[in-house]
Structure 1
């Protein structure tokens, strides 16, 4: 990529994209909801047909349609059409920036450039994100220095990110820079690192393109670029993919950390402790191996139990060794129709077999440095393999933030204090009751959380009645006393039976202490 002196060409690009109205809603308006859904499935034919119909009905395409045809649908456009799309930057300027390649009277995309929209606590936002062309555009396997755009993992991590304002954030392994941009909306300064010079160049361009001036980009592996520094928040989608370390298996910079097995994830999780300020938090993605059928979560606990951090690990899924191999071979652009697929598949399975790996878990990790003088209070692992609840604009990060606060409250609340607490039921909670036909009493009662992790809790009569009475007026102890009298059971025994369940409901965000109980 070349930059001319004088006016920054990226600013000219921004002007052109803004003038064209190159936004997510505008693209949906070009080809309609069905074609938009097809694009989410990587099927471009319906959208192409819509643009062909638009082109047939007029002498020239509007700038937004040219940009969509070029960057989203991957088709060549004429140079006059390109000039319409880039009136300020110009045809040659677009080529100099590396966004298009020109051949004769046509231009093709040389980089991916797409609109991106989102919503967080700062409100709705819309950006343009540049990255390298994917395999659908190139028609083959990806180069090892490929810079990935906004994918599923990117969206997951941005949804995990805590959004309370802080002074400093570290984005470890920034890639195209999407997490650094999100972090920069909630921090005075952001440091974004990557081992790839190409990734940093594209990430810096994305920051300029979207008007960010509080992000610093640094080259280097893992925590090397920030040695001796601490941050209020760390976010990372590290290159955690488990790849065989043998000749002939490509190692992609955006996903492979160059270590054996899940050692890269271990290095990142244990390294965080040296770079968090007291009270600082980290939100990361990662995966961990299951060895010969053993649960993988104890491996993660063993990594973290000695580093002095609060931790909460949520495993979202587990893939068999075979399915994991297929997933990441396809991710690199190699499909079963190509000769290399079987060779790579065998290399992956050989590696797993040699190391006794039966599967790989994937999930979220939240870490926190205890404040000065405080000790570790949260060491939590759980499996949430089902669908999430309805996620609010802030994403699952809001649920995790609330979970940390609930854990802190519970750590300082003994059974006597919990009995004295007044609790309320979260607004997204509903109760289901199931009856056999003709019966007066339910055969099953289930409490369901509408947001967060969409937890489901099976209830007995006493717990259902306690939850129904949690409106912030009566203490837990008072409710238990009333229930014991109603059910004609011993109050002490009933209270001792219900309090552990109440703790779990508070921990899960289903119940929460009223303001008076929080003190």
Structure 2
């Protein structure tokens, strides 16, 4: 294990050495070039290997050691990190030596966003070791962790919880807007590596071991983020249980349990952001399955399904996730265990998505929205999630009359498309399209299109609909009833703004 005590005397020293060696996001990009950089993001090492093979610069040496998992000369490594030579790296547990060669004991690489750059330690991937992962593997920066970080709203908060922290990626992001961070995990190894990453990047987190909310007792938080071990794994002998992805429950039970406990651990107005898989049995619809998770919780819920897989696709993905590929000994048995488990429980489909939850500040009926958005979305999504929470909360509290009294404006990223048959006098299809956020494309009728066109803040919703009813020669009440649901949808997703 990496040794946090080895950093306790001067945790900034290694950061300074890494920066001096240009082992940074920009430095690595400049060293590798665009093609090798993109290949490495796809976990293809060869282009980066070829580019750095004859390069003895500090950054190339560190890329080969920590990003590619290739041995480097001890003397070469000593020159790459003055003040953090091979002996000190070995004492810290980051490298091991074999005569004149040094080998990475852990993956170490820079990671960041526009305003921050960090360095993250995690276990070596199976691409680097060439072997299947051990069950106590601590995952590094993956697609799921980056998705969660992108979708999390970044409101300033007093207390935040990173549930299932792994190596601590979400806590790094939380450090920019949370005064106090608690991070939990069931894995002792994950917490030790998270402690190392906290020290390396100059942070202090409360790190607690245990299942779901058990380690925090009755504590409440303003923001909870979780990339939980949501993978649906057969609970049968011979199927490995990876700590970073398997929660030890049948089916999607770990996420259902998490959601049911959220009301006891969110402050009023508090938000939870998490990723999840869910099972859809034969004859059921995913919205009904997931929607039931929130019944009688009192929580506002916004669920976006991003992808679906049939049982065979899902089994192939997770059978091979740990490094056991098709054709390898044991692959078919593992694949078959997943298929048998899904068949025995009548599962037709597995969904993946992002769940946003809010505990209302006021005593009102909670809102619930479940949508499917499989295409590209804004990056980062956090600002759109924050705005969407506020808009939906405003709609729930203002009610129909509040919406009629509101003076709405059109968001700057909204455009309108009209489609019709050649020679037709009127369009047959009108679409209001959003450039950011979830990039919604909402098909509307002539009345709603006319309403959107006059949303400049001058008229209230009721006044504008009344004027349009007169122009179309239809009863105002009838047009209001027919148009308000579409207007509510446009407000909720940020195509129309309330100014509230």
TM-score, scaled relative to structure 2: 0.96
In 1, Cα distance between the equivalents of 2:59 and 2:194? Answer: 23
1: distance between equivalents of 2:14 and 2:7? 14
Q: Is the 8 A contact 1:16 1:89 kept in 2?
A: yes
CA deviation vs aligned residue, 1:434-490 (integer Å, no higher than 9, x gap):
243444433322111111111111122221111011011122222223222322333
Query: Structure 1 residues 229 and 413 mapped into 2: Cα distance closer, same or farther (>3 Å)?
Result: closer
For residues 74-223 of structure 1, the aligned pairs below 5 Å read 74-119=69-114, 124-213=115-204, 215-223=205-213
Q: Aligned to 2:328, which of 323, 338, 350?
A: 338
| Structure 2 unaligned blocks of 5 or more | none
Distance 1:156 1:423 in 2: 31
Deviations 1:372-410 (A, max 9, x none): x513421222222x213332xxx2222222122112221
Aligned residues between the structures: 499
Superposed displacement of residue 15, structure 1: 2.4
| Conserved 8 A contact 1:21-1:64 | yes
2:265 is aligned with 1:264: no
Query: In the alignment, which residue of structure 2 is the partner of 1:451?
Result: 436
Change (3 A) 1:2 1:508: closer
Q: Using a 3 Å threshold, how does the CA distance of structure 1 residues 494 and 13 change in structure 2: closer, same or farther? A: same
Match for residue 466 of structure 2? Answer: 481
Q: Which residue of 1 aligns with 2:275?
A: 285
In the TM superposition, residue 224 of structure 1 has moved relative to its aligned partner by 1.2
What does residue range 207-356 of structure 1 map to in structure 2 within 5 Å?
A: 207-213=198-204, 215-356=205-346
Once the two structures are TM-superposed, the CA of residue 96 in structure 1 deviates from its matched residue by 2.0
Q: Distance in 1 between matches of 2:377 and 2:66?
A: 34
Q: Tell me: CA distance 1:303–1:492, structure 2 relative to 1, closer, same or farther (3 Å).
A: closer
Given that 1:292 and 1:357 are in contact with CA atoms closer than 8 Å, whether structure 2 keeps it comes out as yes
Shift of 1:428: 1.2
Counterpart of 2:68 (choices 62, 70, 73) is: 73
Aligned-pair CA distance for 1:86: 2.4
Unaligned runs of 5+ in 1: 56-60
Could you tell me which residue of structure 1 aligns to residue 375 of structure 2?
387
Is the CA contact (8 Å cut-off) linking 1:131 and 1:148 kept in structure 2? yes
Name which of structure 1's ranges 131-140 and 2-11 shifts more when overlaid on structure 2.
2-11
Partners of 1:474 and 1:63 lie apart in 2 by 63
Cα deviation for residue 491 of structure 1 reads: 2.9
Q: Alignment partner of 1:422: what SS?
A: coil
Q: Which shifted more, 42-51 or 414-423?
A: 414-423
Measure, in 2, the Cα distance between the counterparts of 1:458 and 1:5: 60
Aligned to 1:19: 20
Looking at structure 1, the residues matched to 19 and 102 of structure 2 have their Cα atoms a distance apart, in angstroms, of 21
* Alpha-carbon distance between aligned partners in 1 of 2:364 and 2:449, rounded to the nearest angstrom: 35
How far apart in 1 are the matches of 2:492 and 2:8? Answer: 54
RMSD after superposition: 1.8
The structure-2 alpha-carbon separation of the partners of 1:6 and 1:428, relative to structure 1 and needing over 3 Å to count, comes to closer
Give the SS at the match of 2:327. coil
Give 2:381's aligned residue. Answer: 396
Q: Which residue of 2 aligns with 1:495?
A: 480
Q: Contact conserved, 2:444 with 2:486, CA < 8 A, in 1?
A: no
* Structure 1 stretch displaced more, 398-407 or 225-234: 398-407
SS in 1 for 2:269: strand
Contact 2:406 2:498 in 1 (8 A): yes
C-alpha distance in 2 between matches for 1:45 and 1:458: 47
Q: 1:7 to 1:270 in 2, by over 3 A?
A: closer
The structural deviation recorded for 1:195 is 0.9
* 1: CA distance, partners of 2:465 / 2:358: 35
Deviation at 1:5, TM superposition (A): 6.8
SS of the residue corresponding to residue 282 of structure 1 reads strand
Q: Is the 8 A contact 2:6 2:91 kept in 1?
A: no
Query: What does 1:454-465 correspond to in 2, within 5 Å?
Result: 454-465=439-450
- What is residue 423 of structure 1 aligned with on the other side? 408
Q: Give distance in 2, aligned partners of 1:126 and 1:328.
A: 31
Compared CA separation, residues 274 and 491, structure 1 to 2 (3 A): closer
Query: 1-side partners of 2:283 and 2:104: how far apart?
Result: 46
C-alpha deviation, 1:128, in angstroms: 0.6
Distance 1:109 1:39 in 2: 17
C-alpha separation in 1, matches of 2:440 and 2:5? 55
Match of 1:58 in 2: none
Instruction: Measure how far apart 1:176 and its partner are.
Output: 0.4
